[in-house]
Amino acid sequence: MTDYELIDSGNGRRFEKFGQYLIDRPDPEVLWQKTLPDSSWDQADCKFVRTHEDKGRWETKPNFPESWIVNHNDIKILLKLSPFKHVGVFPEQDWQWDLILNNTPKDSNILNLFGYTGVATVSCLKAGAKVTHVDASRPAIGWLIENLKLNSLEQAPIRYIPEDCLKFVEREIKRGVKYDGIIMDPPVYGHGPNGEKWSFIKDFPSLLDNVSKLLSDNPLYVIINAYAISTSPITLQNMLQEKFSRLGGEITSGELTLKEQSGGRILSTGIWAMWKKV
C-alpha cells in the first residue's frame, strides 16, 4: 500500500506507519523479538493495549485525530481506530486491489461479500464495474459510504446491503442474479444483523457452493481472503479446484504477507486463494 510501512515487529506486536501516523498494536502471530529498540517504538502516536480487565483500548498522543486519510495509488482510504485493534484497511491486500482494477472490464457485475470498509469495492467502481457490497455490520457499511464520498463515487452504480451473506446469496440464486466476479473476506466467526451465527469451518463450504451458482457465463474471478483460521492456502485452493476447475482458467493460493523494514522478515497475516480467467 502506497501510504503504509511495517516498520518493525516482535514480542507479539507490530509497529506500523499509516500515512503520517505511527501505530503500535498486537499481533499474536509475531513470536520473535523486536529488531528496533524500545525508544523507536515509543514514538508511536497510538498504541492498542490490553489488560485483564478489558478487551483492549487505544492510548493516543494528544490531538490524535478521530480519522485520517491514506492513499493507494489513486484510491483514498479513510482510517479510524476501531475497538478491536483494526484501523479500516488490510494493507497486505493491496496487490489484489491492483489486480481488480486491471482485470475488471467496464460494466462488469461484481459481488463483494463481507465487504468491510470497501477498498476492493472502490477498486471495482474505479474500473467502471457495478458492485453489490454486502456486510452484516452497519458500522462497516457506514465506513464504506465514507470511502465512496472520499473517492467521489457517491453516484457510482453500487448497492450496499447490511445483511447476512449466507441469506443474501440464497436469495440471489432464487432471483436468478448473475455476477462476473466475486470477492469474499469471510471471518472465522461472526454474527448477522438478526443474530445469525457464522462459522468459517461450518458455513464456508456451503457458501462457496452457492456462490458458484451465481457466476455468469463468462466470469472473471473469484477471490477469497481468510484470517485467523486453522487451515492452509492449499485447503482453499482445493475447494476452488472442486467448484471452479470446470471453468478452465487458473487457480492459485498463498499467504497474505507484509515485509518489515527493520529486519526484512516476512509477517504472515492470513491466507488467500483465487480462481481467475486467463
All three cell numbers of 253, joined, read 493460493
Q: What is the number of domains present in the chain?
A: 2
Judgement on whether residues 131 and 22 belong to the same structural domain of the protein: no
What's the confidence (pLDDT) of residue 49? Answer: 95
What's the confidence (pLDDT) of residue 63? Answer: 95
Judgement on whether residues 209 and 178 belong to the same structural domain of the protein: yes
Residue 83 inside a domain? The answer is no
Q: Among 69, 101, 126, where does a domain finish? A: 69
- pLDDT category at 230 given cuts 50, 70, 90 is confident
Nearest to 115 by CA among 92, 91, 84, 142: 142
Judgement on whether residues 59 and 93 belong to the same structural domain of the protein: no
Evaluate if residue 126 carries a pLDDT over 80: yes
Judgement on whether residues 54 and 192 belong to the same structural domain of the protein: no
- pLDDT category at 195 given cuts 50, 70, 90 is confident
pLDDT, tens digit (0-9, with 9 covering 90-100), for 22-66: 999 999 999 999 999 999 999 999 999 987 767 899 999 999 999
The domain of 109 spans 88-276
Residue 153 inside a domain? The answer is yes
Q: Is 3 helix (H, G, I), strand (E, B) or coil?
A: coil
Q: Which residues contact 143 (CB under 8 A, 6 or more apart)?
A: 78, 80, 88, 116, 117, 118
What's the confidence (pLDDT) of residue 54? Answer: 75
What's the confidence (pLDDT) of residue 124? Answer: 98
CATH number at residue 18: 2.60.40.1180
pLDDT, tens digit (0-9, with 9 covering 90-100), for 90-109: 999 999 999 999 999 999 99
Residue 80 inside a domain? The answer is no
What's the confidence (pLDDT) of residue 217? Answer: 96
Judgement on whether residues 100 and 204 belong to the same structural domain of the protein: yes
Nearest to 96 by CA among 6, 219, 215, 183: 183
Judgement on whether residues 126 and 222 belong to the same structural domain of the protein: yes
Sign of the alpha-carbon dihedral angle for 154, 215, 220, 253: positive
Judgement on whether residues 64 and 192 belong to the same structural domain of the protein: no
Residue 74 inside a domain? The answer is no
Judgement on whether residues 151 and 119 belong to the same structural domain of the protein: yes
Work out the average pLDDT over 5-9.
98
Residue 81 inside a domain? The answer is no
pTM: 0.96
- pLDDT category at 271 given cuts 50, 70, 90 is very high
Judgement on whether residues 42 and 145 belong to the same structural domain of the protein: no
Q: Using CA atoms of 200, 204, 207, 213 in order, give the dihedral in degrees to the nearest 10.
A: 150
Burial of 217 (0-12, 13-18, 19+ CB in 10 A): exposed
What's the confidence (pLDDT) of residue 215? Answer: 98
Judgement on whether residues 131 and 171 belong to the same structural domain of the protein: yes
What value does the mean pLDDT of the chain take?
Answer: 96
Residue 143 inside a domain? The answer is yes
Beta strand residue intervals within the chain, DSSP E = 4-10, 13-18, 21-26, 46-49, 57-60, 68-72, 75-79, 109-113, 130-134, 158-161, 181-184, 189-191, 197-199, 221-226, 250-259, 266-276
What's the confidence (pLDDT) of residue 10? Answer: 98
Judgement on whether residues 129 and 201 belong to the same structural domain of the protein: yes
Work out the average pLDDT over 127-132.
98
Q: Which residues contact 33 (CB under 8 A, 6 or more apart)?
A: 10, 11
Judgement on whether residues 40 and 142 belong to the same structural domain of the protein: no
CATH number at residue 169: 3.40.50.150
Q: How far is CA 155 from the centre of its chain?
A: 23
Q: Using CA atoms of 134, 137, 141, 144 in order, give the dihedral in degrees to the nearest 10.
A: -90
What's the confidence (pLDDT) of residue 193? Answer: 84
What's the confidence (pLDDT) of residue 192? Answer: 85
pLDDT, tens digit (0-9, with 9 covering 90-100), for 143-174: 999 999 999 999 999 999 999 999 999 999 99
